[in-house]
Amino acid sequence: MLLLFMTAFDKIALATDHVRPFKKPETWNLGGFITVSVVLGVALLAEQENEIYAKA
């Protein structure tokens, strides 16, 4: 675990970014990601409930 943190620290310390910032802030379109996340969450919850009640 310590080795993982040590290598991650090296990568972060050596990383450089040459991107010029925009004058206005960027906006992210997260609507699609939220929809997919909710659908997958509901499906996993339904599957879990099905497992619990199938054993009873």
pLDDT in tens, 7-54: 776 677 766 667 787 888 888 889 999 999 999 999 999 999 998 888
CA distance 32 to 38: 10
CA distance 56 to 32: 37
**Residue 24 pLDDT:** 86
CA distance 1 to 9: 13
**Residue 45 pLDDT:** 94
0.85 exceeded by the pTM?
A: no
Q: Which of 24, 12, 29, 38 is nearest to 4 (CA)?
A: 12
| Token representation of residue 50 | 């099905």
54: alpha, beta or left, given left = phi > 0 and alpha = psi -120 to 50? alpha
